[in-house]
A and B are shown apart, each in its own frame.
Chain A
Amino acid sequence: MTSEDVLRLLPTDDPIRLIDADGSRVDGSGGDRYELPSDADLLHAYERLVVARRLNDQANALVRQGRLAVYPSSHGQEACQVGAAHVLQKGDWLFPTYRDTVAAMERGVDPVDVLTLLKGDWHSGYDPYETQVAPATTPLATQLPHAVGVAHAAQLRGESTVVMALTGDGGTSEGDFHEALNFAAVFKAPVVFFIQNNEYAISVPLARQSAARSLAHKGIGYGVPGRRVDGNDVAAVLAVLGDAVERARRGEGPQLVEAHTYRMQAHTNADDATRYRLDTEVASWVDRDPLTRLEKHLRGRGLLTDETHEQATAAADAMAQHVRDGLNRDIEPDARELFAHVYAEPTPQLREQAAQVAEEASREVAGR
């Protein structure tokens, strides 16, 4: 590898940004390498950001009402998730984490189904083959080698599938992150590894997570090009991820993109973020909000009409109503089903145990 090749792997000093916090178009800082998405794409992104923000709000409300067991909110990170989903084509795969509810919804999974596990149910809620969205993964970074396997299998069959594999800043400390990057590079697997660096792994700040210049720099050792993007600028996320997906599809191998964003809310509703970060720090990110930023930009250019705004709000209202209806339905989980999918056919031992539980369940019903 020549030093020129190494330079090509290097991320920019600053994250790529196309739209500033005040809504104005950015020139320079590496941004001039990427084109601003089309007006139509930006308007569509706006609507989806409105819907995404509403999903976070609605899910938080459902936790307070006892309808969801827990919710890891992506408030503040919606541009990353909308962007990650929208750069993919039909047939591409998405590997989400538990915080990527929005990304899964944006790939076409019913948000009610996405929330199944968080409701406290025992399964992932949706058929991964319908939308090519893998079940959301809780153990950090463990889904990344799976993404490489899906991509490599597609590659061996000569398919043009690209796999978008999501992780967070904390996930980049896990061994599987490194093994997945290395495997993907060696097999030239068409995977885009997308890190949403939201500054915190529950309570642990980025400085305690990594001493690397940036998380995107972690690709260099594996021969994987790293890119940094302002994760609160949906235009930049769409442009940088879109480029990475295209490169992967062209056969250039895996790409690593780090989005700089911020988790505006606590890790989950069960977490108390005031124990480890200052309100002033959180407040400093309010001005960089991805939704208001795009809104300012579109209004500044006269692209956002009241009609578009109302249309987006109506879409959010409809989604929220659908989620409320779905989660307010009382569906009694059937304990016998706990034994049905452990194996293709239950073992003789599981059949015995299932019969015992079935008997207990029928007594429970009779006792009511």
Chain B
Amino acid sequence: MSAGQIDHEKLTMAQALNRALHDAMVADDSVLMFGEDVGALGGVFRVTDGLTAQFGDTRCFDTPLAESGIVGMAVGMAMNGMRPVVEMQFDAFGYPAFEQIVSHVAKMRNRTRGRVHLPMVIRVPFGGGIGGVEHHCDSSEAYYAHTPGLHVVTPATPSDAYTLLRAAIASDDPVVFMEPKKLYWSKEEVALGTDGPGIGTAVVRREGTDATLIAYGPTVPVALEAADVAAQEGRSLQVVDLRSIVPFDDETVCAAVRSTGRAVVVAESAGFASVASEIVARVTQRCFHSLAAPIGRVTGFDIPFPPPKLEHFQLPGVDRVLDAVDDLQWEDQ
């Protein structure tokens, strides 16, 4: 690819992530990828497919099955000149690494007064919607978002998956990169360039004038579909995709909500003490005088993620989103 030219390819999100890893590894020898089954198998979702074959097993390699060891080793490698990317395989399998993430990944820069920084990415396939069994469908983003020192991003489109992962790898701060599992197979034309939205910028996915749906990761397509249906019913819904949970783009989100005066947050995780709660609180505080109704929330229930046959009750769907929009105290009702 010559300078100034950007390739476009139709890719699934998993393929876009794979290309981002590939291109980052080509661009920078210090970028490494490791974790469980990421080598010969190419990852259980094939996100690391072909990387070991192309870059060798010192650049993309399998490790022993121990998540704290994986993240802890990545800390040491990041301290010593590398840019490691590690995979946690499934959301709930990342919990053994929690101490490493909270006590070291997040704090190293601060506790060394900025002298040691950790340019590392922790990839976490997350969320439900794929008929997964227990421990395979958690939405764990709030745990990480609550921890100062981490960036937490989640793409909702293959294009964002590519640019955000490139940005995460290039970042000098640790990034928890939450990959919505159920969108791995979503497909679109992807621009394979690094010029894109940086970490920390939300985007208005669909313009609308009556109310704003605020979503991230797996619920963005749900919000867009709800907006389609609402349009047929004569209601114009705007959709904001956060892309980045930390840093949070107050500016874009608040401008959107002020423009419509009504909002519903749509998120898959359990609602209590969640990212959705935080969004409602901060948007209410900043936009109170522009709001015609309390901000609504459509989230998962406060239960362990249910089994495949019942998961559709847990996942925010179009009907629930539209019901929540209906509850926004419309003057004509």
Contact = CB atoms under 8 A, between A and B. Distances in A.
A183 B110 contact: no
Nearest to A130: B115
B64 A183 contact: yes
Interface in B28-72: 58, 63-64, 66, 68-69, 71-72
Interface stretch (B13-21, B207-215, B243-251): B243-251
Q: Say which size band chain A's interface belongs to.
A: 35 or more
A144 B172 contact: no
A124 B72 contact: no
Contacts of A182: 64, 66, 69
A341 B166 CA distance: 23
B116 A129 contact: yes
Nearest to A127: B115
Interface string B69-106: 10111111111111010000000000010011001100
A134 interface: yes
14 contacts: A123-B113, A124-B111, A142-B99, A142-B100, A145-B69, A145-B75, A146-B72, A146-B73, A146-B75, A149-B73, A149-B74, A153-B77, A175-B66, A179-B72
Contacts of A175: 66, 68, 96
B66 A128 contact: no
Contacts, number: 132
Contacts of B171: 344
Nearest to B69: A179
B111 A135 contact: yes
A342 B149 contact: yes
Interface of A: 122-124, 127-129, 134-135, 139, 142, 144-154, 156-157, 175-176, 179-180, 182-183, 186, 337, 340-344, 347-349
A266 to B, nearest CB: 25
A341 B113 contact: yes
B232 interface: no
A142 B247 contact: no
B201 to A, nearest CB: 11
Contact of A342 (B79, B81, B82, B109): B109
B72 A341 contact: no
A160 to B, nearest CB: 14
A145 B81 contact: no
Contacts of B149: 342-343
Given A142-B100, A142-B104, A175-B96, A343 B76 contact: no
A337 B251 CA distance: 25
Given A128-B116, A145-B68, A176-B99, 4 more contacts: A139-B103, A144-B72, A182-B69, A183-B73
Nearest to B82: A153
A344 B104 contact: no
Contact of B247 (A148, A179, A183, A348): A348
A124 B111 CA distance: 6
A142 B68 CA distance: 9
A122 B111 CA distance: 7
The 6 closest A-B pairs by CB, nearest first: A149-B76, A145-B72, A179-B69, A347-B247, A153-B80, A146-B76
A176 B112 contact: no
Interface string B135-153: 0000000000000110100
B324 to A, nearest CB: 27
Nearest to B172: A344
Given A150-B77, A150-B80, A145 B100 contact: yes
Nearest to A139: B103
